[in-house]
Structure 1
């Protein structure tokens, strides 16, 4: 069974569009305990430094990157299930993406889509997929094959 409190999203940049914040709030309510840490956007090196300093020692890093592995929702759920009770920090970069050193720290990188999205929408898509992965693992009715 999934426990959203073991997940944290570290995201570069603030949510500026109210309609995206409304959508995010819906999924945050559905995933009690999941935390989101916002990093101020600046340049890729300063963002990397802020990400590194925000990481906790017991967190496994999963980076979102357009070069990352593409996963189906079921494969994503299975991947998270295999990590067991490990604490996970998902990292979403800013407009310039993530620095190579942050990507090299990651346990693995995955891509939400071969398309490029603004970081605000990437955050929404990640939350939705974490929720979907949770319902798949718990055999809930949300996901339909």
Structure 2
């Protein structure tokens, strides 16, 4: 199974890219994690719906080949890390590649959200999109470490 983060936005700061690269490197060979940058729509005189529709088209193209889509949304499920690990384990048993979608500055098109297999949120706090990428990378690594009973995740 492969994991991917499809993120609408521009190239993140170097420290975010370095952090994401570190967690990508740590992922097990049978569960590689990639990050796909999806070009945001230029604002111009477009309204929010037009921007989201254009980004939806790009996201749909980038989603080809993924069996499962999980959107990151402020109204998504608030999962503790252990619950994310349980979901990851279920997805691994079911098979099929999984894409996590991080929308642009205006969010994700409502129709695309409805097509998602799951919706999660990383925090009740508002996070910059680049930081959301890094946090998601770390949480996916932490989740697989829990599944594999690796000592990276400690509770207590």
Q: In the alignment, which of 14, 17, 21 is matched to residue 21 of structure 1?
A: 17
Helix, strand or coil for the counterpart of 1:89? strand
4+ residue stretches of structure 1 with deviation over 6 A? none
Query: What is aligned with 1:129?
Result: 139
State yes or no: 1:82 paired with 2:87.
Answer: no
Q: Give the Cα separation in 1 of the matches to 2:12 and 2:84.
A: 28
State yes or no: 1:71 paired with 2:79.
Answer: yes
Query: What is aligned with 1:52?
Result: 60
Helix, strand or coil for the counterpart of 1:61? strand
Number of paired residues?
A: 141
Deviation sequence 1:4-47 (CA, Å, 0-9, x none): x5111111012331111121111111125322111001122111
Q: Give the Cα separation in 2 of the matches to 1:87 and 1:127.
A: 16
Structure 2: segments with no counterpart, 5+ residues: 42-50
State yes or no: 1:104 paired with 2:100.
Answer: no
Rg larger for: 2
Structure 1: segments with no counterpart, 5+ residues: none
Query: What is aligned with 1:34?
Result: 33
Q: Tell me if the contact between 2:66 and 2:99 (Cα under 8 Å) persists in the aligned partners.
A: no
Q: Give the Cα separation in 2 of the matches to 1:63 and 1:77.
A: 16
105 and 115 in structure 1: CA distance in 2 versus 1, 3 angstrom threshold? same
16 and 54 in structure 1: CA distance in 2 versus 1, 3 angstrom threshold? closer
Q: 33-42 or 132-141: which moved more?
A: 33-42
